Structure 1
C-alpha cells in the first residue's frame, strides 16, 4: 500500500509541476506574444480556469506527501519526503500571499476595466510564479529521489 501511495504522490506532484512549468515557460510567453488584447484574454481565462483547480491540486499534493511521510516514517527516504512536504507548504504560502491576490484581480479584467498598472501586475505574478515553480520542481525531485 505504501508503494502505491509513493507512486501516486509522485505522479500527482509531477503532473502539477508540469502544468505550472508549462504556464511559466510555454503558455504565458505565447500569450504575451499575441497581438492586441488576445494574450490578456487568454491570461484572464487561465486565471479563472486554473484558479479554480490549482488550490485542490496543491492541497492534494501536500496531503499525499504528508500521508507518505507519516506512513513511511521508519522507511528509507522519509527525510526527503518531509523536506518535499515542507517545500509544498512553502508553495501554498507563496500562492496565498503573493500569487492568489494578483490572480483574483486578473480574472475579473476585461479590456474595458484594465487598471493602469496591469502589465506590471502580470509581470509581478510571473516573477513570483517562477520562484514557485522552482520550489515545486525541487519538491518533485525530492519525492522522485525518495521513491527510487
Structure 2
C-alpha cells in the first residue's frame, strides 16, 4: 500500500510541477509575445482557470506527501520525504502571501479596467513564480530520490 501511495503522490506532484513549469517557461512567454491586449487577456483567463484548480492541487499534494512521510517514517528516504513536504509547505505559503494576491487582481483585469502598472505586477508575479517553480522542482526531485 505504501508503494502505491508513493507512486501516486510522485505522479501528482510531478504533473503539478509540469504545469507550473509550463506556465513559467512556455505559456507566459507566449502571452507576453502576443500583440495588443491579447497577452493580458490570456493571463487573466489563465489566472481564473488555474486559480480555481491549483489550490486543491497544491494542498492535495502536500497532504499526500504528509501521509507518505507518516506512513513511511521507518523506511529509507523518510528524511527526503519530510524535506519535500517542507518545500511544498513553503510553496503553499509563498502562493498565499505573494502570488495569490497578484493573481486575484490580475484575473479580473480587462483592457478597460487594468491599472497603469499591470505589466509591473505581472512581472512581479513571474519572478515569484520562478522561485516557486524552483521550490516545487526541488520537492519533486526529493520525492523521486526517496523512491529510489
Matched, 1:61 2:61: yes
CA distance in 1, matches of 2:88, 2:114: 33
CA distance in 2, matches of 1:4, 1:12: 12
The residue number in structure 2 matching 1:11 is: 11
Once the two structures are TM-superposed, the CA of residue 52 in structure 1 deviates from its matched residue by 0.2
CA distance in 1, matches of 2:127, 2:4: 35
Matched, 1:49 2:56: no
The residue number in structure 2 matching 1:28 is: 28
TM-score by length of 2: 1.00
- Measured against aligned partners, the alpha-carbon deviations of 1:88-109 in whole angstroms (never above 9, x if no partner) come to 0000000000000000000100
CA distance in 2, matches of 1:89, 1:11: 18
CA distance in 2, matches of 1:114, 1:62: 34
The residue number in structure 1 matching 2:107 is: 107
CA distance in 2, matches of 1:10, 1:19: 14
Unaligned runs of 5+ in 2: none
TM-score by length of 1: 1.00
The residue number in structure 2 matching 1:140 is: 140
- Measured against aligned partners, the alpha-carbon deviations of 1:6-33 in whole angstroms (never above 9, x if no partner) come to 0000000000000000000000000100
Provide the aligned length of Structure 1 versus Structure 2.
148
Stretches of 4+ aligned residues off by more than 2 angstroms: none
CA distance in 2, matches of 1:93, 1:82: 16
Q: CA RMSD in A?
A: 0.3
